[in-house]
Structure 1
Amino acid sequence: MTQPHGEPHGQSDGAGERERTFAALPPARGRAFARTWWGTRWLQALEDTALDGEQLRKGRRFARQGAVGAVTVRPGRITAVVRDRDGTAHRSDVLLQELPDADWERVLEVAARESGHLAALLDGEMPPRLVEDALSVGVELLPGIGDLDPSCGCEAWDHCPHTAALSYQLARLLDEDPFVLLLLRGRTERELLEELGAHTSAGTASAAAEPAGEQDPAGDLGGTRHNVEPRGVLAEEVFARGADLRPLPAEPPPGSAPGGAPSLTGAGTQPASGVDAAALEFLIAETASRAHQLLCAALSPAHAHSDLPEPLTPFQDAVRLAASAPRRRIAERLSAHCGVPPASFGAAVRAWEVGGELGLTVWEESWTPAPETMAWARDQLATAWAEEVDPPGLNIAGSSWNTPDGSAQLRIGPDGSWWPYVAERGVWWPAGGAQTDPAAALAVALRQKEPGRGERD
């Protein structure tokens, strides 16, 4: 038998093994309380029974923090001392009704029909078929709603954090040894195996005494003449026993590059009427590229500690797509879809090209600098030019500074960077990327306004 965390099988009180005590388990941070299907069913009975979900949440925290002391298991009862955060100790008990001898007799009869039941128990497992077979004769081995009866020194009338913590801790013991549950129901491991062996031997002797022509037509099923219909294994049973499944293979590494879009007009194929094949090919390639970026980011070591980015607005996403579109016609369609004039949409696309999402935020002027940020910006402007150079007389307008003739502009970004802009036909266009020096940023804007440069059609 596998013992929980290397602890002794249990301490005897002189009556066989009808009382077992397990040393306090270490904190359960970062792991589930139940990995096996029978441990999960135990917790389901607890959570279906408790009336106050807040008490269960506190109980989980107590159990995770190691507040549950040694757990004693005996027929019909589990007991432990559970400590509050201030160290106050409470004796807590959870009661589960023992099965009467008549019910155990029925369980032993169905268990003796299949040798696999005994083998699974000896291997430290609770076979789902045994539970189903017992239920078919009217015996419930696993607890259900209302079967877990709490009793605690804190005098709570329902499950309190202390009895909840004890129940969560017991799920960890059940994971390692299903005989803990059977002891709660009234049979020690020794008693159960001896009685099961006696039933199996009796069945074998009975089958051997039968005339050859009266043997079980279903064949040898554990040496008995009970007819048991062969059947497969339900998928839900297999997945419930997740600990027994083979580990999944290692995840394949992401491809070095996203896949390309298929050609939708090759081999003489013509797109359907109204379908822009070039735009559709672009969207397919863009989707593959975006998926590849997200996958690489998700597999990076820093992903678990990174905040999720805010989703783009429809306008921002249209601008992003247009910035990478290979044909002007695609950008025109996106502009029309957004209801934005082509010149303004073109300026927004340019902002994305030179600065990504931050560049577009600055272009949209969708942020308001705090007073201390504006004071810092004025200090930067005052000291940006050398002493022998007269600083330009910039006129402030919101978070922007304009040249006297209104042809160039500086904007301050949320990160303290400076962005150069030029006015073209009534629209402010980004003249370049962000600069840390306002003088350098203004120089970029002024160069953009030189004759023969910067005019857009």
Structure 2
Amino acid sequence: MSDVQGFPAFPTGSRRRRRTWWGSAWIQAMEDTAVDATLARRGRRIAAEGRIGPVTISPGRAAAVLDGAAPIVVAVEPLSADRWAHLAAEATVQSGHLAALLDGELPHALADLLPGIGELETQCGCDDWGNPCDHAAALCYQVAWLLDADPSLLLVLRGGSVETFGARPAGVSAADAFARPVRALPEPPPPVGDEPRPLVVAPPGIDASALADAATEAAARARELLANGAVDSSRGRP
């Protein structure tokens, strides 16, 4: 997972189509510390108006630009090593927790990824005194929409990654695979003497004896090729 992820601007008329408990918790952390509830409500409307540009998620912050000019930042403190260790222990106890997170669900056991009251800090290039102002509140709502769809973004916002949990991506890269030495082929099986004559059921019009002779000769050539790396070119010639 990259340390920085970008998302296109939400179009006009956007709204939350899926309400999750973790997206609601993110909004609650903002609304519970808002100086003016009216600004928060206005922020919800601005979030749906398409005035906020592309959103960038990076460790400790979400950022965007309002009306192509005013920068907006919503900051959240990265987790300490102790809190990451606690979350990693929770994920170890129940191996499905991390898989659920990467599959679009946030287990309650990993709720420490979410900010609490007072943990969200906002900045905006406007002159509004509110904390958050309606523009920063709008970005908070849009980040909640992104988290609704992909709660693993909380790993980035909190300064961690999948590897923080001690996990490693599955599979091997092509470069690593081609760099590995080629293993030697196993030794060919020992010869077994005369080739057994195969039991052949010939279709109508085909000489069963001749077909069995051809199959026996092919088997002998294949065994000779495995044993010697070549076939005697004179085999089968008069």
Normalised TM-score (structure 1) = 0.35
Q: Does 1:174 align with 2:147?
A: yes
Cα distance, 1:89 vs structure 2: 2.4
Residue number in structure 1 paired with 2:6:
21
Q: Distance in 2 between matches of 1:149 and 1:130?
A: 22
Match of 2:64, SS state, is strand
Alpha-carbon contact 2:90-2:109 (below 8 Å) kept: no
SS in 1 for 2:73: strand
Matched, 1:41 2:25: yes
1:34 offset after TM fit, Å? 5.4
* C-alpha separation in 1, matches of 2:105 and 2:22: 9
Poorly superposed stretches of 4+, deviation over 4 Å: none
Contact 1:80 1:166 in 2 (8 A): yes
Asked if structure 2 preserves the Cα contact closer than 8 Å seen for 1:108 and 1:196, the reply is no
| Gap runs ≥5 in structure 2 | 170-238
> Within 1, Cα distance between the matches of 2:79 and 2:95?
23
Task: Identify the residue that residue 183 of structure 1 maps to in structure 2.
Answer: 156
1:147 paired with 2:119, answer: yes
One-letter amino acid matched to 2:35: L
Native 8 Å contact 2:124 2:135 kept in 1: yes
Once the two structures are TM-superposed, the CA of residue 61 in structure 1 deviates from its matched residue by 1.3
Shift of 1:118: 2.3
Q: Residues 304-343 of structure 1: matches in 2 within 5 Å?
A: none
SS at match of 2:31: helix
Equivalent residue number for residue 58 of structure 2: 74
Secondary structure of the structure 2 residue equivalent to 1:167: helix
Offset from partner CA, 1:379-417 (integer Å, 9 cap, x none):
xxxxxxxxxxxxxxxxxxxxxxxxxxxxxxxxxxxxxxx
Q: Deviations over 1:412-453 (max 9, x none)?
A: xxxxxxxxxxxxxxxxxxxxxxxxxxxxxxxxxxxxxxxxxx
Q: Secondary structure at the match of 1:151?
A: strand
CA distance in 2 between partners of 1:187 and 1:130 (Å): 13
Alignment partner for residue 165 of structure 1, among 134, 138, 151? 138
Q: Deviations over 1:223-270 (max 9, x none)?
A: xxxxxxxxxxxxxxxxxxxxxxxxxxxxxxxxxxxxxxxxxxxxxxxx
Report the counterpart of residue 70 of structure 2 in structure 1: 90
Q: Distance in 1 between matches of 2:77 and 2:114?
A: 11
Corresponding letter in the other structure for 1:24: A
Quick one: distance in 1 between partners of 2:159 and 2:72?
A: 20
- Percent pairwise identity: 47
Q: Do residues 117 (structure 1) and 66 (structure 2) align?
A: no
2:107 corresponding residue in structure 1 = 127
Structure with more contact order per residue of length (Cα contacts < 8 Å, sep ≥ 6)? 2
Residues of 2 paired with 1:46 and 1:27: CA distance? 23
Aligned residue pairs: how many? Answer: 168
Counterpart secondary structure, 1:49:
coil
Which of these residues, 82, 87, 106, is aligned with residue 107 of structure 1? 87
The CA deviation at 1:57 is 1.8
AA at the equivalent of 2:43:
G
CA contact 1:82–1:166 (8 Å) conserved in 2: no
